[in-house]
Structure 1
Amino acid sequence: MSSFSTTQRITKDVVWTDGGVVAAHHRTAAEVGAKVLAEGGDAIDAAIATSFAIGVVEPWMSGPMGGGMMTLWRAGEQRAETIEFGMRAPRGLQMSDYPTVIEGGVSDLFTWTRVKDDRNIFGPLSVAVPGTVAGMELAHRRYATRPWAELLQPAVELARKGMLIDWYASLMIAAVTRQLAKDKDAAKMFLVDGQWPNIAGWTDISESRLDQSVMAATLQRLAEAGPRDFYEGQLADALVTDMAEKGNRLSAEDLATYRASACQTRTMTYRDAVIHAPSGLSAGADLVATLQRMERGFIPGKKPDANSYATMARALRDAYRHRLSHAGDEGGHVEAPACTTSFSVVDKAGNMVNVTQTLLSKFGSRVVSPSTGMLMNNGIMWFDPEPGKPNSLAPGKACLMNVCPTIGEHKGRMFAIGAAGGRKILPAVTALTSYMVDFGMTLEEAFHHPRIDVSGVSQIIADEDLPAGISTALADIAPTQRAKRTVHPYAFGVPVGVMRADGRNCGATEIMTPWGDAILEEPFLY
């Protein structure tokens, strides 16, 4: 039983506007994107600027050293598309670096065994080839209206200023202090004398900032030299050298040959809606399968009830059973929560995009590249370390991701949604889609409505605010735990979204995120 208040209610306002909106897990990054829109930029311009800005102000969730996907909607062409920029295993990867051990066993969610010293999860050997810069490069080449350097400049300025270490940032750093201390460059960036940089006191309003000057110089170089410098130029050379010195097998060829790709979405009809789920190695196929089963399983009433939640739970459980046996999923048997960031943009013309990008775990590999000043991903964690499996680790192989950036069309309304939270992403996107399509909820109503989480095959988590009868129905399917929606930890996925109806736009973020916000297209000072 928790000690949290049962009378406290937390809400976020959702405001409609004739202009564009950026909804992101960090208000400052959303302001950067909204300013681009206010200056006449396209939704893709705003997304690129937001991507690099959020990597500065929320560096442990995503950044240029990670990967992800975006699903976009081009209003003029009435067309959806996914841009894939997931991480890949280095071509020179050697399986002998990842010996499996019997100790620790296997969990009830994953079928593979533990790797010695968890080196596939943390440390330099967990680093995969990053794709975020290439993804933004491809999006820029296909759709942007503003120069590349101009879109990166806000991120440069934010890095020069340094990220503000408030209570939430301090909490994030404190959670992984021991592992950050194992890498001297990570310790230098995030810790103070080997300890977490706690703020002065609970009534103190003094300001402390992270030194991100090396990151600022890297972003400035990237802005001036262009995105290919990250893969074939000075930045690429620095990254390969840094990783070699730390024991990773990332090569110049790995970077030079990396390309993002533009693909058709997995488009389906769900009742009287059209859903554009992401392509490729995402959770898109699982979203399609889940919604198909839900459509067969219940007839929507006035509001979600025990039957609709039970049907959703069974559909999600079946989707994960299939995913784990036929596609694979993220692995690991130590505390390594997947932490991602997601943001959605809609411009005044109706163009939309959701970008979901990640380092994979919070603080990724817990390794910093000293020449670039950036945290590295731990994409190798996504692979099964044993050979002969659907998602087995192998040189040059692409990572399977949980990301699920989604576009929906329903009765004259459109929405772009995504979420953070590893395996919790799919349940969050599924629930929001159902709320808006099955029950006609507005974006505001959907984001405030309690949800369930079924992100595996052995347990269901139900929001404490759901009626007891719903929890009882869920318990007939699998052991069900009731949990409160809190700031930390997140028992449920952490969504963001934008909606357009009758030529007007709005945006929303998870109500419990202290940093998340939807920012309207207006002039901003930051």
Structure 2
Amino acid sequence: MDSFSNSQIIRKPATKSANGGIVAAQHKRGAAAGAAILAEGGDAVDAAVATSFAMGVLEPWMSGPAGGGTMMIYRADEDRAYTVYFGMRAPANLNPDDYPLSGQGRAGDLFPWPHVVDDRNQIGATSIAVPGTVAGMEAAHDKFGNLPWRDLVTPAVKFADEGLHVDWYAALIIASSTRDLAKNPAAAATYLENGQWPTIAGWTALSDKRIDMSAMAGTLRRLAESGPRAFYEGDLADQIASEVQDAGGCLTAQDLRDYRAEIQAPLEIDYRGGKVFAPAQLTAGENLAECLDILGQQTFSGDKPGAQAYIAYVDALRKTYHRRLREMGDINDDRAPTCTTHFSVVDRHGNMVAVTQTLLSIFGSKVVLPGSGLLMNNGILWFDPEKNKPNSLAPAKRCLMNVCPALGEVNGRRFAIGASGGRKILPAILQLTSFMTDFGMSLEDAIHQQRVDSSGGDTVIADQSLPDEILAGLQQKYPTITTRRTMFPYAFACPAGVERAGNVNYGATEIMSPWGDAVAEKA
């Protein structure tokens, strides 16, 4: 039993636009920044670049310029999909022997790797990997962008100049990481008040408390004026590398100079007479393909999934996670909060973009660089610290991520979806895809439909509001526990997506996300 209401109903209607594009993101101001770019004549990729930088300011604990991720792009004029891979990688000078096992059991953050002495792979400068987000935005903009780069970074500069607004939700997020933020002087000075989380005057009060983001504003100005390569070459890159090394990390200026994002051919998955496109490498894309292949061998009926469908989702997920954990090497821990962001874009021409970007853990390494104001990733945590494993630590090695942005087309409809939530991402994307293809649900109905999670453990986690016959069917076959769909932490990932039916666009975000919204461009 919990203390929450059983009669409360929460709905978040989809945003609709018959004349323009839509951006769906985990923060409404980030979505609005992207929608404004669309209104100025920008392409879906332009809007995605603007949203990427804006989200790094508005919810910096989830993502930012010093993170990494993956982007899926659909070009209507070519009828073709692309992947932009901008995952993090280990520094070339990384020495796996610098991460000795403590012999004290398992680590306590996202991944239950063996515990490393002083959490060197998890917190602090020794956990920082080579960032890829700026290079990813650069690659996409160079190939598909219409508007000048400066115009796309400027909204984020303005947000940083304003300072980060601390409402109750921001205060909750910061409070969840206070102990670790206090270990880094610049992080503590930025996000904490006298070593504690920010206070709000009273629980009924309106707060206009702001966190000073002026150092980050200066960095974003440099990127706006000098272009994306300024992050990887020149004075700013040298400053970033120097400050990481001063804090004890091994990232070098050469690591930054050598980094390039990759434009790749995506996986093309035939499903129910349509197609699904997913990233092919170092993500959960191939696991999504495996799950859809398994589901495709069954026939579903009706306009909503029943017990047969939910059991099929779990069967497919258990099979693919067994292989992923054995052959690909990553696994997450349910105890950690969601720590990634996803946004999706559709423009008036039908071009679509789905972007998942992350720092990995919430607040990444918990290290803020004092000169640039950047909150750095902890991508080294993606690697298994044990040697001779599929995903073991190694210098210059690319990180294996849980991200899974996806594109789909079926019966004349197209969608672009993705989610935050670590290993919960794949189950969410699989079910949303099935809801819209197997049962003909709209994006809005799919976002509201209850989900289950089965992502590596023996126990299935099910939304307690599912019908009794579905829960009974799951419990008969698998150990199953039920839980609520809440806003913190997310038990079933936090999706955002867009859909195009004919010439009408739709956008929707996770109904429990208090900041998430889909914003249409204004005519």
- Please tell me the TM-score bracket, short chain as reference: over 0.9
Which whole-Å deviations, capped at 9, do the CAs of 1:280-328 have from their partners, x for residues lacking one?
Answer: 1110000000111111144333320111100110100111111000001
Conserved? CA contact 1:19–1:347, under 8 Å = yes
| 1:105 positional shift | 4.6
- 1:168 match: secondary structure: helix
Match of 2:475 in 1: 475
- 1:182 match: secondary structure: coil
| 1:261 positional shift | 0.3
Match of 1:491 in 2: 491
**Aligned partners of 1:43, 1:359: CA distance in 2, in Å?**
23
TM-score by length of 1: 0.97
Match of 1:126 in 2: 127
| 1:204 positional shift | 1.1
**Aligned partners of 2:291, 2:43: CA distance in 1, in Å?**
33
Residue type of the partner of 1:30?
A
Match of 1:215 in 2: 216
CA gap of 1:277–1:300, structure 2 versus 1, over 3 A, is farther
Match of 2:79 in 1: 78
Match of 1:151 in 2: 152
Conserved? CA contact 2:113–2:384, under 8 Å = yes
Structure 2: gaps of 5 or more residues? none
Conserved? CA contact 1:300–1:308, under 8 Å = no
Single out whichever of 385-394 and 45-54 deviates more from structure 2.
Answer: 385-394
Conserved? CA contact 2:337–2:490, under 8 Å = no
Q: Provide the aligned length of Structure 1 versus Structure 2.
A: 521
Residue type of the partner of 2:23?
V
**Aligned partners of 1:20, 1:110: CA distance in 2, in Å?**
38
Match of 1:239 in 2: 240
Match of 2:376 in 1: 376
User: Is 1:275 aligned with 2:276?
Assistant: yes
| 1:472 positional shift | 2.1
**Aligned partners of 1:418, 1:332: CA distance in 2, in Å?**
20
- 1:29 match: secondary structure: helix
Residue type of the partner of 2:433?
T
**Aligned partners of 1:261, 1:157: CA distance in 2, in Å?**
29
Conserved? CA contact 2:167–2:207, under 8 Å = no
Single out whichever of 424-433 and 15-24 deviates more from structure 2.
Answer: 15-24
**Aligned partners of 1:332, 1:457: CA distance in 2, in Å?**
9
Match of 2:329 in 1: 328
User: Is 1:229 aligned with 2:255?
Assistant: no
- 1:446 match: secondary structure: helix
CA gap of 1:9–1:336, structure 2 versus 1, over 3 A, is closer
Residue type of the partner of 1:325?
R
**Aligned partners of 2:85, 2:234: CA distance in 1, in Å?**
22
Match of 1:261 in 2: 262
* Aligned pairs for 1:9-408 within 5 A: 9-17=9-17, 18-105=19-106, 112-330=113-331, 336-408=336-408
**Aligned partners of 2:98, 2:107: CA distance in 1, in Å?**
20
Which whole-Å deviations, capped at 9, do the CAs of 1:12-50 have from their partners, x for residues lacking one?
Answer: 111321210000000000000000001111000000000
Single out whichever of 13-22 and 44-53 deviates more from structure 2.
Answer: 13-22
TM-score by length of 2: 0.97
Match of 1:435 in 2: 435
| 1:122 positional shift | 1.4
| 1:475 positional shift | 2.2
**Aligned partners of 1:230, 1:139: CA distance in 2, in Å?**
16
- 2:462 match: secondary structure: strand
| 1:272 positional shift | 1.7
Conserved? CA contact 1:98–1:116, under 8 Å = yes
**Aligned partners of 1:328, 1:278: CA distance in 2, in Å?**
18
| 1:203 positional shift | 1.5
Conserved? CA contact 1:338–1:360, under 8 Å = no
CA RMSD of aligned residues (A): 1.5
Structure 1: gaps of 5 or more residues? none
| 1:353 positional shift | 0.4
- 1:262 match: secondary structure: strand
Which whole-Å deviations, capped at 9, do the CAs of 1:256-284 have from their partners, x for residues lacking one?
Answer: 00000000110011112200011211100
Match of 1:410 in 2: 410
Q: Share of identical aligned residues, percent? A: 55
Residue type of the partner of 2:236?
L
User: Is 1:506 aligned with 2:506?
Assistant: yes
Which whole-Å deviations, capped at 9, do the CAs of 1:364-385 have from their partners, x for residues lacking one?
Answer: 1111111110111010111111
- 1:72 match: secondary structure: strand
**Aligned partners of 1:371, 1:170: CA distance in 2, in Å?**
25
Conserved? CA contact 2:499–2:505, under 8 Å = yes
Residue type of the partner of 1:507?
G
| 1:476 positional shift | 3.4
Which whole-Å deviations, capped at 9, do the CAs of 1:81-138 have from their partners, x for residues lacking one?
Answer: 000000000110011210012222589x978422122221111111100000000000
Residue type of the partner of 2:58?
V
